[in-house]
């Protein structure tokens, strides 16, 4: 896809190194700042899919930037500036080796576990007799390990503390921040006629202080349902209308791919990729409540290099 950014290889002023993630490329500037480029790559089942999704990076970056600003009163965050539609620049922190996943509803991975007869996930009990997409009595935190490569693994609070991955004091603060951020996300979503079903947060530490890092409340890190018709669909056992990356996973599953050995990613035609773009734009406009303005994609790499270099020189 000529108008999708799937690979970056920048050399910014003060650059010390770069980490290429599944979706984001993170450039270390003088061991002080991070330049995080949200590419148009898309991953599912921990596999980077072969085609990029035009404007996806812009959607993710701009949603995350808005929610970082909207939650800065709850917990300090890493963001300093967004010099380009696909880039956030922020402070470099030491990341915690866990992702804080919070679930308000029984869906996705939790439902798949529940359907197999499991009644605990990450040490958290799930009540008997629940239906798919039903709301939990209260949100549950189901953390995962943060894998450098391969699959993130479910882990319990007790294991995290026992293995010394995070101290008890820090972990309990992460829990408080996670629930408060999720509550704020739910409130903002409700104002827009949406339900924030589940999401994940990542945190780091800088000068002994816990900082919220990475993206928040984007369709890659979160699942949203439309509030209208939720109860009726639940009562009938119908699928919910949702805005999240789950529709990509479902398309892959329907075409015989779940990231398992020997399976092949189905063909991602230009028409399919454009349809995924449309879903990402739809989520942006619904959750942000503003029209999405597509950036110039004539030469995305040159645009990013120009904007970031100018910012770094003038900071």
CA Rg value for the chain? 19
Q: Structurally, how many domains does the chain consist of?
A: 2
CATH assignment at residue 219: 3.30.470.20
CB 180 within 8 A of CB 74: yes
- Dihedral of alpha carbons 95, 98, 100, 101, sign: positive
* Domain interval for residue 263: 15-94+250-314
End-to-end CA distance of the chain: 34
Domain membership flag for residue 262: yes
Same domain? For 235 and 144 the reply is: yes
Residues 240 and 99 in one domain: yes
Which value, to the nearest 10 degrees, does the dihedral of the CA atoms of residues 103, 64, 242, 139 take? 10
Residue where a domain terminates, one of 197, 227, 244: 244
Q: Does the CA dihedral 186-201-59-267 come out positive or negative?
A: negative
8 Å CB contact between 121 and 142: yes
What's the half-sphere exposure (Cβ side, CA atoms, 13 Å) at 96?
29
Same domain, 36 and 143: no
- 122 with 64, same domain: the answer is no
CA distance 37 to 90: 11
Residue 296 and residue 163 in one domain: no
The answer as to whether 61 is a domain residue is: yes
Give the angle subtended at the CA of 248 by the CAs of 246 and 251, to the nearest 5°. 110
Cβ atoms of 204 and 96 within 8 Å: the answer is: yes
Global model pTM greater than 0.85: yes
Q: Element (H or E) spanning 79, and its range?
A: strand 79-84
Q: How far apart are CA 290 and CA 284, in angstroms?
A: 8
Tokens 């773009």, residue?
A: 277
Stretches in the chain below the pLDDT threshold 50: 1
**Half-sphere exposure of residue 16: CA atoms within 13 angstroms, side-chain side:** 8
Within a domain: 8: no
Which of 219, 244, 269 delimits the end of a domain? Answer: 244
Residue with tokens 């939720």: 230
Contact assessment for residue 210 and residue 177, using Cβ atoms and an 8 Å cutoff:
yes
Single residue among 244, 270, 299 that ends a domain in this structure: 244
Q: What is the DSSP letter of 77?
A: B
CATH number of the domain where residue 25 is located: 3.30.200.20
């Amino acid at each position: 896809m000529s108008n999708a950014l799937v690979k970056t290889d920048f050399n910014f002023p003060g650059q010390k190194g770069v980490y290429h993630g599944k979706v984001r490329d993170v450039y270390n500037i003088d061991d002080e700042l991070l330049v995080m480029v949200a590419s148009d790559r898309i991953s599912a089942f921990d596999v980077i899919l072969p085609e990029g999704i035009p404007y996806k990076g812009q959607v993710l970056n701009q949603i995350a930037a808005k929610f970082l600003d909207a939650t800065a009163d709850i917990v300090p965050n890493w963001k300093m500036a967004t010099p380009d539609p696909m880039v956030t620049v922020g402070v470099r922190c030491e990341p915690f080796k866990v992702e804080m996943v919070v679930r308000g509803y029984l869906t996705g991975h939790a439902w798949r576990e529940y359907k197999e007869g499991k009644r605990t996930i990450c040490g958290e009990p799930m009540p008997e007799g629940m239906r798919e997409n039903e709301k939990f009595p209260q949100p549950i935190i189901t953390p995962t390990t943060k894998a450098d490569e391969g699959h993130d693994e479910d882990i319990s609070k007790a294991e995290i503390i026992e293995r010394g991955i995070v101290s008890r004091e820090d972990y309990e603060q992460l829990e408080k921040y996670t629930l408060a951020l999720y509550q704020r996300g739910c409130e903002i979503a409700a104002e827009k006629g949406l339900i924030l079903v589940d999401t994940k947060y990542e945190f780091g530490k800088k000068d002994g202080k816990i900082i919220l890092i990475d993206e928040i409340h984007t369709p890659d890190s979160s699942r949203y349902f439309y509030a209208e018709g939720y109860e009726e669909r639940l009562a009938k056992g119908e699928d919910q209308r949702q805005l999240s990356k789950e529709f990509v996973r479902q398309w892959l599953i329907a075409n015989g791919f779940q990231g398992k050995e020997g399976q092949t990613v189905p063909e991602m035609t230009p028409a399919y990729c454009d349809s995924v773009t449309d879903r990402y734009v739809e989520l942006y406009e619904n959750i942000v409540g503003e029209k999405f303005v597509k950036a110039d994609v004539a030469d995305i790499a040159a645009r990013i290099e120009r904007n970031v270099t100018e910012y770094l020189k003038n900071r």
